[in-house]
């Protein structure tokens, strides 16, 4: 089959954006259902380990693929017309067709972010393996960020596959070679691990979760150690701005814990796509000006 028509940006970018919208709808399912599935599995394993019997009326959370979408309020199963990315939310005016309950803005937001991010990946890399790899990179970061924002949990089921995929791609290589990828993963883990323990020794508190270590290690595997410092600086800047606004809007003080994973993921994606341009801009504007 001739795929040469996909090499045209005018076809590739909008089609990839459309694919991103469709996958974004599924990412909402992952964000909402995966933590519940994990909690159910953890509780089941704990009861087996302790020798406790399973509850008689135990509710099993829906799976990620086969169980159809339904309204979280009235539990009515949604039709295909209710699941059209972005359009269904607009046509229904942000309310459930069956019970008139307000639909969370998370659904169109995740779909929109996925669509725009995927179109940007297509614009950046064009047709080929970097595009396919970049799409998986983007989808995993969106799902992990959404879960962390809701639950303050970065599941190993997302961060570890992202890490391993980055290491495997380095064998080809697609973005960086194996030596760069392995060193990047190791430094990514150790850098936040060191900060975690230093902060804990000084304050007696845990400043971040172990999932953050794994996420930064995964980003190091994809982009190498040279990208880690810009990612940490950029994520800290994004976190300070967005986190400060969020805490102020909710009327909470600065001691309120906020998940750091979404900021690491956002900074990692920005550097993955625009890192070369940002580095060139920095060298041109700041280093030249300083000289």
pLDDT digits (tens, 9 = 90+) for 180-198: 999 999 999 999 888 888 8
70: three-class secondary structure by DSSP: strand
What tokens does 231 get?
């990612």
Question: Is the predicted pLDDT of residue 291 greater than 60, yes or no?
Answer: no
First to last CA, the chain: 55
> Mean pLDDT across the chain, nearest whole number?
88
CA pair distance 74, 194, nearest whole angstrom: 47
Question: Is the predicted pLDDT of residue 224 greater than 90, yes or no?
Answer: yes
What pLDDT score was predicted for residue 253? 66
What pLDDT score was predicted for residue 137? 98
What pLDDT score was predicted for residue 222? 98
- The candidate with the shortest Cα–Cα distance to 215, out of 198, 200, 232, 203, is 232
- Contacting residues for 211 by C-beta, under 8 A, at least 6 apart: 148, 153, 154, 155, 156, 159, 261
pTM for this prediction: 0.92
CA pair distance 1, 269, nearest whole angstrom: 32
What pLDDT score was predicted for residue 1? 60
Average pLDDT over residues 260-275: 95
Percent of the chain with pLDDT over 70: 95
- Contacting residues for 78 by C-beta, under 8 A, at least 6 apart: 68, 69, 70, 71
- For residue range 55-109, list pLDDT tens digits in order: 776 677 888 877 778 888 888 888 888 888 999 989 988 888 888 899 899 999 9
- For residue range 31-44, list pLDDT tens digits in order: 999 999 998 888 88
What pLDDT score was predicted for residue 167? 97
Average pLDDT over residues 206-231: 92
- The candidate with the shortest Cα–Cα distance to 187, out of 232, 147, 234, is 232
What pLDDT score was predicted for residue 126? 93
- The candidate with the shortest Cα–Cα distance to 266, out of 225, 237, 229, 226, is 237
257 — pLDDT class (breaks 50, 70, 90): confident
What pLDDT score was predicted for residue 57? 62
Which position has the higher pLDDT, 201 or 175?
175
What pLDDT score was predicted for residue 202? 83
Which position has the higher pLDDT, 184 or 277?
184
Q: Across the chain, which distance is largest between two alpha carbons, in Å?
A: 73
- Contacting residues for 36 by C-beta, under 8 A, at least 6 apart: 61
């Amino acid at each position: 089959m001739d795929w040469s028509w996909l090499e045209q940006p005018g076809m590739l970018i909008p089609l990839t954006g459309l694919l991103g919208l469709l996958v974004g709808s599924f990412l909402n399912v992952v964000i909402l259902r995966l933590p519940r599935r994990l909690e159910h599995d953890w509780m089941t394993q704990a009861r087996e380990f302790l020798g406790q019997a399973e509850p008689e009326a135990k509710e099993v959370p829906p799976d990620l693929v086969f169980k159809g979408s339904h309204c979280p309020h009235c539990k009515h199963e949604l039709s295909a017309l209710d699941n059209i990315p972005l359009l269904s939310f607009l046509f229904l005016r942000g309310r459930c067709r069956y019970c008139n309950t307000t639909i969370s803005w998370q659904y169109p937001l995740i779909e929109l972010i996925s669509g725009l991010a995927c179109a940007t990946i297509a614009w950046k890399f064009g047709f080929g393996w970097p595009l396919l790899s970049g799409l998986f990179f983007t989808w995993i970061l969106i799902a992990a960020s959404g879960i962390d924002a809701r639950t303050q949990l970065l599941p190993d089921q997302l961060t570890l596959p992202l890490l391993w995929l980055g290491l495997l791609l380095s064998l080809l290589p697609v973005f960086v070679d194996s030596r760069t990828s392995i060193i990047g993963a190791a430094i990514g883990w150790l850098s936040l691990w060191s900060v975690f323990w230093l902060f804990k020794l000084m304050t007696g508190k845990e400043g971040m979760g172990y999932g953050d270590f794994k996420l930064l290690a995964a980003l190091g595997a994809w982009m190498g150690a040279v990208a880690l410092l810009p990612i940490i600086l950029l994520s800290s800047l994004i976190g300070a701005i967005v986190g400060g606004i969020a805490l102020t809007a909710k009327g909470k003080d600065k001691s309120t814990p906020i998940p750091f994973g979404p900021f690491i993921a956002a900074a990692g994606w920005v550097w993955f796509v625009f890192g070369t341009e940002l580095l060139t801009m920095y060298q041109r504007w700041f280093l030249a000006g300083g000289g």
